[in-house]
Structure 1
Amino acid sequence: MRISPETQQLVKEMCLRDNCRTQNEFIEKAIRFYTGYISGQEATAYLPPALASVLCGTVQDTENRICRLLFKLAVEQDMVMNVLAAGMELPNEQFHALRGQCVQDVKKTSGSISLDDAVRYQRGGL
């Protein structure tokens, strides 16, 4: 392997900073790092530990926030369902048919349902 004198000097300087015992050890580490970077595999092995820690913490915080919001939303939805159930006298057959229709609507629209859509459906619209 042949390298320029400038690159050789850079290896000497960086070898000391990286606490490598030999220049050969430094060059092997550099080659492994670069090939890992190029292949895109095991990317976390090439991220600085501090950056990986920050990213993990950010993802965990976001996950916790979403879980709390979903819990609050489920509580509110349960309240709405109980209020509606208390005020409506819906026969079981109609209730089960409505559930099936709602499942199909949510699947068809990927969950993008509005109150306007529900009102339109209840009034006989499509």
Structure 2
Amino acid sequence: MGSEHTKVRAGIYVEKEILNQADGLLETANVRSRNEFVEEALKFYIGYLLAGKAEDYFLQSLSSVLIGTVQDSENRLARMDFKMAVELAKLSQVIAYTHDVDEESLNKLHAKCVNEVQRINGTIKSEDAYRYQKREV
């Protein structure tokens, strides 16, 4: 018999009611004695505690990975937003240069566009703008 299986005698104090419950569950636990019952109960509880630590570690690792993934996505979206804003600014400059639009008309157009984007929740369709400009709506 190896030293890892050596049993030692340990005296413990247990409430009478708990001991009576354990005695009533010996058959259900598939053990022959109180000693085996207590040993199996200790193994179970130790496993439960160790699993809790493993779960905490797993959750921390998962959280770390998710935070990194979200931050990478945010960075990619921010770079894409910047590139789109540059292209939109270039387009706006070209349109302003090639069309003679007075400031009052530009302010009205701005207000109309703000209302439109709010109404459609940012889902812009070129076809709708075309129909509006051709007065088909």
TM-score range, shorter chain: 0.5 to 0.7
Change in Cα spacing, 1:117 to 1:10, as seen in structure 2 (3 Å) is same
| Residues in 2 aligned to 1:13 and 1:95: alpha-carbon distance in whole angstroms | 71
In the other structure, the counterpart of 1:22 is none
Over residues 44-87 of structure 1, what are the superposed CA-to-partner deviations in whole Å (9 max), with x where a residue is unaligned? Answer: x6853222211111111011111011001101111111111111
Alignment identity in percent? 34
1:113 is matched with 124
**Alpha-carbon distance between aligned partners in 1 of 2:86 and 2:60, rounded to the nearest angstrom:** 39
1:63 is aligned to 74
Alignment of 1:9 with 2:43, yes or no, is yes
Q: What count of residue pairs does the alignment treat as equivalent?
A: 101
Distance 1:86 1:99 in 2: 17
User: Which is further off, 111-120 or 64-73?
Assistant: 111-120
* Separation in structure 2 between the aligned mates of residue 107 and residue 83 of structure 1, nearest angstrom: 26
When Rg is computed on C-alpha atoms for both structures, the one with the higher figure is 2
Q: 1:105 to 1:14 in 2, by over 3 A?
A: closer
Determine if the alignment matches structure 1 residue 92 to structure 2 residue 110: no
CA-atom RMSD, angstroms? 2.8
Which structure exhibits the higher relative contact order, with contacts defined as CA atoms closer than 8 Å and separated by 6 or more residues?
1
User: Which 4+ runs in 1 deviate beyond 2 A?
Assistant: 1-9, 12-15, 45-49
Q: Which has the higher helix share?
A: 1
- Tell me: CA distance 1:54–1:88, structure 2 relative to 1, closer, same or farther (3 Å): same
Displacement of 1:7: 4.2
Q: Using the alignment, how far apart are the partners of 2:110 and 2:132 within structure 1?
A: 13
Gaps of 5+ in 2: 1-17, 23-28, 30-36
